[in-house]
Structure 1
């Protein structure tokens, strides 16, 4: 019933491996975000210079307004694409960390079940009811955890669908406003 040094070593090894996986996941996501930010900054600077040159080449206020309207949509689309990329990276990291947490939860459930079985075997006579009650409580807790986990996944999927719909609607609205501005100019 007591843990042996080998069991402690195994538990520690597992904990270290889990922490390394989490650290590697975090570093990979930071690296991806840094690359995204650098590329976005470079592109924004290049676009800004090109857009400024184009606007300065306008011959009259109508051409200036038309150019300004035509430049708004690509800028917004790039901003939306950046936001989607950041959201994608965050969602991917969250998914990886969830898998790690689920793996840990499964391991803990197995360890508790094994420990309860050992306790039940060495428990005094008549304690079967108490062990059964503990097992029942653990099963109920596991069921509640699974239900909450499924609900959280559904909420995340709905939020992702809403974010996608909102960004698409924003891009369309700006596009139609830019088209109207061109026609007015």
Structure 2
């Protein structure tokens, strides 16, 4: 059976985990705000520069050249922004996953200790029931590990696809800019 000290220790660990995860969430939000402030400042400076350049345009040909020159850096900056956004969300998610997996591992160990303790104190003749229960717990753990591996593989595939799409978008912008010149 669980003692009051064990319950208090578990509660304390849960509160510490909650505050740790909250701290990580705020770090992610801080990074996101910093990214957006930086991007906004850069966009405002570029808008002012672009407006000034457009005011100095003498003819339509010069205007088309200016538009073409602006398109490629915009695509590259959008891809870079998306990459930073993805990195922030991935690192924050990884911290949450790490914490949850650590907590789950601890809970799993404690649960197995309770099951083992109950098995030792089980009445005679219940060995088969205890073995079936332990087998079910092991099967559940194996299923969970399989799901975690599948999620990791899916995340890796999604990241590879994201990188490929971002690269193609930048290359397409470069090609379009060259074609307009």
Q: Report the TM range for the smaller structure's normalisation.
A: over 0.9
What is the match of residue 16 of structure 1? 15
Q: Secondary structure at the match of 2:125?
A: coil
What is the match of residue 74 of structure 2? 75
How many Å separate the matches in 2 of 1:5 and 1:151?
Answer: 38
User: Which moved further from structure 2: 30-39 or 49-58?
Assistant: 49-58
Q: What is the root-mean-square deviation of aligned Cα atoms in Å?
A: 0.8
What is the match of residue 107 of structure 1? 106
What is the match of residue 59 of structure 2? 60
Q: Name segments (4+ residues, structure 1) moved above 6 Å.
A: none
How many Å separate the matches in 2 of 1:73 and 1:55?
Answer: 17
The alignment's TM-score, normalised by the length of structure 1, stands at 0.96
The alignment's TM-score, normalised by the length of structure 2, stands at 0.98
How many Å separate the matches in 1 of 2:47 and 2:72?
Answer: 14
How many Å separate the matches in 2 of 1:177 and 1:8?
Answer: 64
User: CA contact under 8 A between 1:55 and 1:68: conserved in structure 2?
Assistant: no
How many residue pairs end up in the alignment?
181
How many Å separate the matches in 1 of 2:162 and 2:55?
Answer: 36
Gaps of 5+ in 2: none
What is the match of residue 40 of structure 1? 39
Gaps of 5+ in 1: none
Deviations 1:91-111 (A, max 9, x none): 111111111111111111101
Equivalences for 1:93-172 in 2 at 5 Å? 93-172=92-171
